[in-house]
């Protein structure tokens, strides 16, 4: 019965949200127009590398006082499309309407693209894939993601509204909350989870300490903060907080793997010696160490590919391109890797401690 | 690059202390992977080279490093490898369609200012580059999940040699379900940490919800996170079915 209600709720919210993003024009203050006709009017070659096209668009306004009227727009786009795009029939665009345009023939300019539909659709594909593959566990991962995102957003609001509290303190508290919530949701209320929570927190804060000491010793030599985008705040703090929130997921993964396997070894054989537990635990740790550091490495470095291409294609040298674009990403990946490797022995000994405690009580 | 050398040195020492030989191999694998990424970027700068094909080749090489070099060539890593390649190709098509539709390629207006000195007309299809970026950022997690499923499946098969293909598949799915939560978590936090600056920026400049969700940078990040999650979930049934198929097929062949 609960299952059926659950399916019904998911189905209903799917239909409702898709309907909403296809009909939410009136919720936006900015005028939105849908392209109904495109004409290519010009094309220019650029140094044999690229081509720039000019498109004349006729679009129908979807909201505001001029709803239903047609507006004429001009769009320039290149083959690369690094900061421009070709519009097709049905593309939806935020526009600004020229004030001096006559009412019979509105003209205007393109401001941005309406992307909310696609974010929502990909979001639903994500939800359905997770539910189909993971069922209950899939549902818990979705809940954990949403709760953590809300928590992060709330923590940032708190940071921005009270100028007194440092970002590091706020992220420290958030890290504790993230860890407790995610591990409880993924793994339930039991001793395995407690061991993993303690190991995660120890591993994270120890690697934070190591990274901080390295940064102090080297005077942050080699870190190019100027590559940090979107910075309105003290960049060093934002960077450090980002490093540790970023590594947290991987560290939790290692901690839970270590504690689950130690506990399952103990469950299978209550007489197993501490030495045997240590040995098997280390073997498991060795197996996951490489792949876990790789996950972080790829997640961080790949995002820089477009910038690397832009620098190289504009004639920058490899040395300059790499040092300008990768220093922070590499530091992030390495600091995260240190956290992962440290958590292997920490997770092992915490789990053994909990096993011993359980043994003493039995 | 002083900080980086220090951090890399500490990581190497810790990996050797904890992991011995295998730890050293894991560190070398990171260096190989880094070289593959740089080489991929180099190939992408070649005029008329198709970034999608380059990405498929690069992901194949990276899976080889992550599966065959860190571990070894055996039936487990082979099935994990095949599953990875199949999943990557399925994911590529899906991501390409949505990057094209949502036009999240290239740089957002927030980023354009700082790169004002550069020409953006460099003759590289940025829609394909955006697709490549999403695939490359997930490949580590995908190979990890594939390995984490196919390896215990082989153990189960060894302990129950008469298990049917269907039962083996479902035990693989059960293992997958257990690791789904932690794998998606790993990726989400990695991305949250990377986008912390962006989130503070949006909040500081008091963007409205409508502006945030439609902006290129934010929707690109969201679609990346979601596609990474889809990839990690998708690899589970793919690996479970391919591993079940091959293990049972090999057993049946041995009988005859």
Give the minimum alpha-carbon distance from B76 to chain A in angstroms, rounded to a whole number. 14
On whether the CB atoms of residues B145 and B66 are closer than 8 A, the answer is no
Query: Is B17 inside a domain boundary?
Result: no
Domain with B248 in it: 45-108+122-255
Alpha-carbon distance A348 to nearest alpha carbon in chain B (angstroms):
11
Rounded Cα distance between A131 and B233, Å, is 9
How many structural domains does chain A have? 2
Q: Is residue B130 part of a domain?
A: yes
Residue B127 near chain A (CB below 8 Å)? yes
Cross-chain residue pair A305–B147, CB shorter than 8 Å: no
Contact at CB, B10 and A338, closer than 8 angstroms: yes
Mean pLDDT, range B70-84, rounded to an integer: 89
Name every chain B residue with its beta carbon within 8 A of the beta carbon of A245.
189, 192-193, 196
A108: enclosing H helix or E strand: strand A106-113
Token digits of residue A198: 């303690």
Residue A184 lies in a domain: yes
Looking at beta carbons, which residues of chain B come within 8 Å of A159? Answer: 200
Q: B211, B231, B221: which is closest to B91 by C-alpha? A: B231
State whether A62 and A177 are in the same domain. Answer: no
CB-nearest to B227 from A122, A297, A310 is: A122
* ipTM of the complex, rounded to two decimals: 0.92
With cut-offs at 50, 70 and 90, classify the pLDDT of residue B193: confident
A196 and A101 fall within a common domain: no
| Same-domain check for residues A178 and A301 | yes
Instruction: Mark yes or no for CB contact A246/B185 under 8 Å.
Output: no
Contacts of B5 in chain A (CB under 8 A): 222
Question: With contact defined as beta carbons under 8 Å apart, do A112 and A94 qualify?
Answer: yes
Q: How many domains does chain B have?
A: 1
Number of H helices, E strands in chain A: 8, 5
Q: How far is CA B181 from the centre of its chain?
A: 16
- Asked if B41 lies within 8 A of A114 by C-beta distance, the reply is no
| Contacting B residues, span 67-86, partner chain A, CB-CB under 8 Å | 70
Query: Are residues A177 and A57 both part of a single domain?
Result: no
Q: Are residues A252 and A349 in the same domain?
A: yes
All residues of chain A having their beta carbon less than 8 Å from the beta carbon of residue B192 are: 148-149, 152, 245-246
pLDDT reported for residue A6: 84
CB contact under 8 A, A327 and B137: no
Residue B1 has pLDDT above 60, yes or no: no
Work out the average pLDDT over A1-24.
89
Q: Which residue has the tokens 């939790």?
A: A252
Q: Are residues A223 and A343 in the same domain?
A: yes
Chains A and B: how many Cβ contacts under 8 Å?
408
pLDDT band at A36 (very low <50, low <70, confident <90, very high): very high
Query: Nearest-CA distance from B57 to chain A in Å?
Result: 15
Same domain, A174 and A104: no
What is residue A230's predicted lDDT score, i.e. its pLDDT? 66
Lowest mean pLDDT among A150-159, B76-85, B141-150: A150-159
Q: Between residues A103 and A188, which one has the greater pLDDT?
A: A188
Q: Is the predicted pLDDT of residue A296 greater than 70, yes or no? A: yes
Check whether residue A104 and residue A173 sit in a common domain: no
What does the mean pLDDT of chain B come to?
90
- Minimum mean pLDDT among A225-234, A289-298, A351-360: which range? A225-234
What value does the mean pLDDT take over residues B70-99? 91
In this structure, is residue B24 part of a structural domain? no
Q: Is A183 inside a domain boundary?
A: yes
Least confident window among A97-106, A150-159, B189-198: A97-106
Q: Is residue A139 part of a domain?
A: no
B133 touches chain A (CB under 8 A): yes
- Best of B52, B61, B140, B206 to disrupt the A interface (most A CBs within 10 Å) is B140
Interior angle at CA B52, CA B49 and CA B57, nearest 5: 90
Asked whether the predicted pLDDT for residue B76 surpasses 90, the reply is no
> For the residues A115-119, what does the mean pLDDT come to?
92
Domain boundary among A90, A114, A138: A114
Claim to verify: residue A184 and residue A89 sit in the same structural domain: no
Q: Which residue of B has its CA nearest to A25?
A: B210
Q: CA angle at residue A246 from A245 to A247, to 5 degrees?
A: 95
Q: Is residue A276 part of a domain?
A: yes
With 60 as the cut, is the pLDDT of residue A350 above it?
yes
In this prediction, what percent of chain A has a pLDDT beyond 70? 96
pLDDT higher than threshold 90 for residue A180: yes
Domain contains A298: yes
B200 touches chain A (CB under 8 A): yes
A90 & A207 share domain: no
Residue B244 lies in a domain: yes
pLDDT for the residue numbered A198: 95
Q: Is residue B132 part of a domain?
A: yes
Q: Is residue A140 part of a domain?
A: no
Environment class of A42 (CB within 10 Å of its CB; exposed 0-12, middle 13-18, buried 19+)? exposed
A15 pLDDT above the threshold of 90: yes
Mean pLDDT of A220-233: 72
For B246, other C-beta atoms within 10 Å of its C-beta total 17
Instruction: Determine the 3-state secondary structure of A77 from DSSP.
Output: strand
Mapped onto helix, strand or coil, the DSSP state of residue A83 is coil
d(CA B211, CA B214): 5
CATH number of the domain at A265, please.
1.20.1640
User: What's the pLDDT score for residue A136?
Assistant: 86
Of A49, A122, A140, the CB nearest to B223: A122
Reported confidence tier of residue B238, pLDDT bands at 50, 70, 90: very high
What mean pLDDT comes out for the span A145-171?
83
**Is residue B62 pLDDT above 80, yes or no?**
yes
Confirm whether B36 is domain-assigned: no
Asked which of A79, A114, A149 is the last residue of a domain, the reply is: A114
What is the distance between the alpha carbons of residues A101 and A82, in angstroms, rounded to a whole number? 30
pLDDT tens column, B200-232:
888 888 888 888 889 888 899 899 999 999 999
Check residue B106 and give left, alpha or beta (phi > 0: left; psi -120 to 50: alpha): left
| Of A295-304, B2-11, B119-128, the least confident | B119-128
CA-to-CA dists, residue B150 to A128, B147, B174, angstroms: 24, 5, 12
Average pLDDT score over residue span A196-222: 91
Q: Of A114, A144, A177, at which residue does a domain stop?
A: A114
A133/B234 Cβ within 8 A: yes
Helix, coil or strand: residue A42: strand
To the nearest whole Å, the CA of B229 is away from the closest chain A CA by 7
A14 domain-assigned:
no
Q: How far is CA A86 from the centre of its chain?
A: 27
Closest C-alpha to B161, from B247, B243, B75:
B247
| This prediction's pTM | 0.91
Percent of chain A scored above 90 by pLDDT? 43
Residues 149-168 in B contacting A (C-alpha not used; CB under 8 Å): none
Beta strands in chain B (DSSP E): none
The yes-or-no verdict on residue A102 having pLDDT over 70 is no
The residue with tokens 């900061």 is A83
Task: Please report whether residue A154 resides in a domain.
Answer: no
**Chain B contact set for A319 (CB, 8 A):** none
Residues A347 and A209 in one domain: yes
The answer to whether the beta carbons of residues A354 and A194 sit under 8 Å apart is yes
Say which CATH number the domain at B215 has: 1.20.1640
Domain housing A172: 166-361
């Amino acid at each position: 019965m609960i299952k059926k209600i659950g399916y019904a709720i998911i189905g209903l919210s799917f239909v409702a949200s898709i309907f909403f993003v296809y009909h939410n024009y009136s919720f936006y203050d900015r005028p939105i127009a849908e392209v109904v006709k495109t004409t290519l009017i010009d094309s220019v070659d650029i140094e044999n590398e690229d081509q720039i096209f000019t498109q004349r668009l006729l679009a129908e306004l979807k909201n505001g006082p001029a709803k239903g009227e047609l507006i004429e727009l001009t769009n320039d786009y290149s083959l690369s499309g690094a900061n421009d795009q070709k519009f097709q029939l049905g593309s939806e665009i935020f526009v600004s309407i020229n004030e001096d345009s006559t009412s019979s023939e509105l003209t205007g300019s393109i401001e941005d693209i309406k992307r909310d539909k696609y974010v929502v659709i990909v979001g639903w594909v994500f939800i359905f894939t997770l539910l189909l593959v993971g069922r209950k566990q899939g549902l818990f991962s979705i809940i954990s993601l949403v709760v953590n995102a809300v928590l992060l957003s709330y923590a940032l609001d708190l940071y921005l509204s009270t100028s007194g509290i440092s970002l590091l303190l706020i992220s420290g508290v958030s890290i504790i909350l993230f860890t407790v919530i995610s591990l409880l949701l993924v793994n339930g209320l039991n001793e395995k989870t407690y061991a993993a929570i303690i190991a995660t927190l120890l591993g994270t804060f120890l690697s934070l300490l190591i990274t901080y000491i390295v940064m102090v010793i080297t005077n942050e030599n080699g870190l190019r903060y100027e590559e940090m985008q979107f910075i309105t705040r003290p960049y060093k703090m934002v960077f450090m907080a980002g490093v540790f929130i970023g590594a947290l997921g991987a560290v939790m993964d290692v901690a839970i793997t270590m504690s689950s396997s130690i506990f399952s070894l103990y469950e299978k054989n209550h007489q197993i010696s501490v030495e045997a537990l240590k040995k098997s635990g280390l073997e498991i740790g060795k197996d996951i160490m490489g792949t876990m550091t790789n996950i972080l490495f790829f997640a961080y470095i790949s995002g820089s590919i477009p910038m690397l291409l832009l620098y190289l294609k504009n004639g920058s040298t490899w040395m300059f391109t790499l040092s300008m674009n990768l220093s922070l990403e590499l530091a992030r990946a390495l600091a995260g890797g240190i956290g992962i490797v440290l958590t292997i022995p920490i997770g092992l000994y915490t789990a053994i401690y909990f096993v011993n405690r359980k043994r003493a009580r039995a | 690059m002083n900080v980086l050398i220090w951090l890399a040195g500490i990581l190497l020492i810790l990996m050797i202390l904890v992991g011995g030989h295998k730890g050293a191999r894991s560190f070398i694998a990171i260096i190989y992977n880094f070289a593959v990424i740089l080489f991929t970027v180099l190939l992408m700068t070649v005029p008329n080279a198709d970034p999608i094909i380059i990405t498929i080749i690069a992901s194949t090489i990276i899976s080889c490093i992550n599966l065959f070099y860190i571990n070894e060539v055996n039936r487990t890593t082979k099935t994990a490898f095949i599953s990875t390649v199949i999943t990557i190709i399925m994911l590529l098509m899906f991501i390409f369609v949505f990057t094209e539709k949502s036009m999240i390629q290239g740089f957002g207006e927030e980023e354009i200012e700082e790169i004002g000195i550069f020409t953006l007309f460099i003759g590289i299809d940025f829609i394909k580059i955006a697709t490549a970026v999403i695939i490359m950022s997930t490949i580590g997690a995908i190979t990890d999940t594939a390995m984490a499923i196919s390896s215990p499946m082989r153990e189960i098969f060894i302990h129950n040699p008469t298990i049917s293909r269907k039962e083996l598949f479902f035990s693989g799915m059960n293992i997958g379900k257990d690791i789904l939560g932690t794998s998606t978590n790993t990726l989400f936090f990695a991305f949250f940490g990377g986008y912390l600056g962006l989130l503070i920026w949006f909040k500081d400049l008091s963007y409205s919800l409508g502006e945030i969700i439609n902006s290129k940078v934010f929707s690109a990040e969201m679609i990346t996170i979601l596609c990474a999650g889809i990839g990690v979930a998708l690899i589970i049934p793919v690996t479970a079915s391919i591993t079940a198929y091959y293990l049972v097929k090999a057993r049946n062949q041995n009988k005859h």
